[in-house]
Structure 1
């Protein structure tokens, strides 16, 4: 994820070395259809690819709209650009479907995967559309095709299918989201399945630390004050209730 062009496509200047700085990346506001159309109208012949998360992770669990994803697909086809679905955090069954982007009903050309792919074992991969013709040796990487990593990846897929973990992610996620929306202190609850963002007011900056140090519940965060829930896909409703109880205590300080 931190190769030269990849870090150029992030808005975090801390990980962009001067040698990696480039003007070859255009940043657009999420779900701004007018800005997307304008970018293609202005530089469409030069645009190689569009990269987007179906649901932003570090960006605060903000969901790309169905219309926006469909427009990306349409403009990519029109201008012969590649639609790249960044599914590293929001994919692999976390939202109740395998690739979160696909709730829009259109397919990307490339899906990137990692994180949950090995259930903790370091492994990553991509899915490519049939229009790309792979050939042996196309990808060169020191650890590519690692047998242990492949075994771990296969084991994860087998358990996901055997235990119906995507169905569980959808059901328990919907249960959690509905319960969280009943808590008055929360500004907004966002997300799908077991990828949930809880936006809190600035007056409650302590909640994440209290969950960790007082209740031993580890959560993610997004600035300025969003708690990210990314639990294991086999989370039960009993465990969800335990979290809700501790979360309400943490809200009270």
Structure 2
């Protein structure tokens, strides 16, 4: 049997990881400044994380959500305390797409409405409603067209108000920093007025924090820079440091009913052990503080390279925009300098999403390599 060929692959086979490095099957070690799409939050194979999963696997790896699981409560309590969102309620699932799917479904249950407002260049996942709210026709199949989704320009508050006034919008879903779309952001006025308009028009305000959340911006969630109160917060990627775990945080005005949401694997014992370890390490190693410090250093270094036309993003969710497409640049960084970086739908943007354990010396190594590539191209 062959694999279904849907991924363009680099000719690299990682077999081991440690903190911000991965080593391939040929013994070559790479600096990982991409973290597998912002998934690796506390570093590859963190000993605290490995120990937590190993110990839990030796006790009980899985049982369904038909029984009590105290690890879910421990996770909820620690997540609430570290995030500052302890008045929300937690529903656990497995992936970012599933988190957004449940967020949109819950919004529709709550409002009795069906239409979704999303924004140009948005990426919310690849499942039914989530992919319909994703601004990429190439990954939307005809079956996804059943969903009612209106795309607006990010930052256009007048257009948003006009759509909400129609009274049929169940949810406005927004990445406070767009990930795949190219790290674009709107203004504080836009986000704060969008939140107010949703509340005026009985629509749910969903913060998609799947990539920009979990400490990556230096705050726990990216929306916390603004005076907003999302009705639902979706999260995934950095939540499990590579173990599949995701969830939504639900504001208490939204009441749960038995059976309205469900999952077989979501919140299983191994997933909870992984997620608890991540929270413990984020707190004990002060990784959000490290994120802010290293990010400031990164921006300072980036300012010394004239070929960089714009620096986008916050914290360790950063983009370097050039006046040329960066595909060849990424290949040279990988194959010649052994550094992983990322791309986006903006072909001129180099995306940087390292583990939150990254240090200034790693940033120095990256900029030495980047300078070498751009000066010799």
Match of 1:192 in 2: 314
Matched, 1:231 2:354: yes
Q: 1:162 to 1:59 in 2, by over 3 A?
A: same
Q: 1:50 to 1:204 in 2, by over 3 A?
A: closer
More displaced stretch, 241-250 vs 195-204:
195-204
Partner-residue secondary structure (3-state), 1:221? coil
Q: How does 1:232-247 map to 2 (within 5 A)?
A: 232-247=355-370
Decide whether the 8 Å contact of 1:112 with 1:125 is kept in 2: yes
Q: 1:194 to 1:113 in 2, by over 3 A?
A: same
- Counterpart Cα distance in 2 of 1:36 and 1:219: 34
- Counterpart Cα distance in 2 of 1:80 and 1:209: 48
Partner-residue secondary structure (3-state), 1:120? coil
Partner-residue secondary structure (3-state), 2:214? coil
**What do residues 148-170 of structure 1 show as CA deviations (whole Å, max 9, x unaligned)?**
00110000000000001111111
Matched, 1:68 2:190: yes
Greater gyration radius: 2
- Counterpart Cα distance in 1 of 2:147 and 2:270: 39
Partner-residue secondary structure (3-state), 1:158? helix
Q: How does 1:15-30 map to 2 (within 5 A)?
A: 15-22=139-146, 24-30=148-154
Decide whether the 8 Å contact of 2:192 with 2:228 is kept in 1: yes
Match of 2:261 in 1: 139
Q: 1:214 to 1:153 in 2, by over 3 A?
A: same
Displacement, 1:224? 2.1
- Compute the TM-score of the two structures, normalised by the length of structure 1: 0.95
Matched, 1:250 2:368: no
More displaced stretch, 56-65 vs 77-86:
56-65
- Counterpart Cα distance in 2 of 1:72 and 1:6: 20
Q: How does 1:209-228 map to 2 (within 5 A)?
A: 209-222=331-344, 223-228=346-351
Match of 1:57 in 2: 179
- Count the aligned residue pairs: 251
- Counterpart Cα distance in 2 of 1:22 and 1:137: 24
Q: Which runs of 5+ in 1 are unaligned?
A: none
- Counterpart Cα distance in 2 of 1:170 and 1:107: 23
Moved over 2 A (4+): 133-139, 203-206
- Compute the TM-score of the two structures, normalised by the length of structure 2: 0.64
Give the one of 295, 320, 326 matched to 1:173.
Answer: 295
Decide whether the 8 Å contact of 1:53 with 1:64 is kept in 2: no
Partner-residue secondary structure (3-state), 1:125? strand
Match of 2:69 in 1: none
